[in-house]
C-alpha cells in the first residue's frame, strides 16, 4: 500500500486559492478538503484565514450564488436549499438572511411550471389524490407548504398562457 505524501501549508493554500479562483466555494468545503489532507485544526484555521483575507472565500457571496443557481437551474425550494447549505456547513444566520431576501413570488414562478408539467403525468382516482401527489412532489423539491398551496389552489383557475411566462 502506497503512502500519500503530506502537502505543505503553502501548497494547500496555493491549491485552494486556485480552486476558489475558478468557482465560488464556502469555508466549509475548504475545511473539508483540509481535513481530508490531514491538516490539524490550527493549520486549517491559518489557511482559511488567509483565504478569507485574500477574498478567495466569502460565505455570504457563496450563499447568494448558490441560492440563485439552485432556484434558477435546479428549481429547488427553500427547504432543499437550506438542507444543502447546512451540509456545506454554511452558518445558519448567513443562509437564513440570504433566503429571507428571496420573495415568495420567485418560488411560485419556479414551482408553477413544474407542477403544470408534473400534472400531465400524475394519475389518481380523483382530484384530491392527484393534488396529494403533486404536493408530495413539490415537498420533495423543497418547497414550503404555503407556496405549494398557492400554486395548487390556483392551478385550476390559471390558463396555459399564465403558466408559460
Burial class (CB in 10 A: 0-12, 13-18, 19+), 126: exposed
Write down the H helix ranges in the chain: 9-22, 27-36, 41-53, 59-69, 78-87, 92-100, 104-121, 127-140, 145-155, 160-163
How far apart, in whole angstroms, are the C-alpha atoms of residue 58 and residue 60?
6
Does residue 5 carry a pLDDT above 80?
no
Neighbours of 137 (CB within 10 A): 18
pLDDT score recorded for residue 160:
41
Could you report the per-residue pLDDT of 77-123, keeping only the tens digit for each? 999 999 999 999 999 999 999 999 999 999 999 999 999 999 999 98
| pTM for the predicted model, two decimal places | 0.85
Burial class (CB in 10 A: 0-12, 13-18, 19+), 111: buried
How far apart, in whole angstroms, are the C-alpha atoms of residue 134 and residue 143?
11
How far apart, in whole angstroms, are the C-alpha atoms of residue 3 and residue 11?
18
Residue with cell 447568494: 64
Does residue 70 carry a pLDDT above 80?
yes
163 within 8 A of 108, measured Cβ to Cβ: no
Which of the four pLDDT bands, split at 50, 70 and 90, describes residue 154? confident
139 within 8 A of 148, measured Cβ to Cβ: yes
Could you report the per-residue pLDDT of 8-43, keeping only the tens digit for each? 999 999 999 999 999 999 999 999 999 999 999 999
Across the chain, what does the average pLDDT equal?
A: 90
Mean pLDDT of 44-63: 96
Amino acid at each position: 500500500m502506497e503512502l500519500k505524501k503530506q502537502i505543505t501549508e503553502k501548497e494547500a493554500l496555493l491549491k485552494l486559492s486556485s480552486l476558489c479562483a475558478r468557482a465560488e466555494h464556502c469555508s466549509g468545503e475548504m475545511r473539508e478538503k483540509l481535513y481530508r489532507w490531514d491538516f490539524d485544526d490550527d493549520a486549517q484555521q491559518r489557511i482559511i484565514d488567509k483565504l478569507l483575507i485574500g477574498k478567495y472565500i466569502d460565505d455570504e457571496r457563496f450563499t447568494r450564488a448558490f441560492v440563485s443557481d439552485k432556484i434558477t437551474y435546479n428549481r429547488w425550494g427553500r427547504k432543499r436549499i437550506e438542507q444543502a447549505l447546512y451540509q456545506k456547513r454554511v452558518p445558519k444566520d448567513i443562509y437564513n438572511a440570504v433566503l429571507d431576501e428571496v420573495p415568495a413570488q420567485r418560488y411560485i414562478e419556479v414551482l408553477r411550471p413544474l407542477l403544470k408539467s408534473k400534472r400531465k403525468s400524475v394519475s389518481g382516482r380523483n382530484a384530491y389524490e392527484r393534488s396529494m401527489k403533486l404536493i408530495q412532489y413539490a415537498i420533495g423539491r423543497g418547497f414550503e407548504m404555503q407556496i405549494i398551496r398557492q400554486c395548487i389552489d390556483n392551478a385550476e383557475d390559471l390558463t396555459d398562457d399564465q403558466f408559460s411566462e
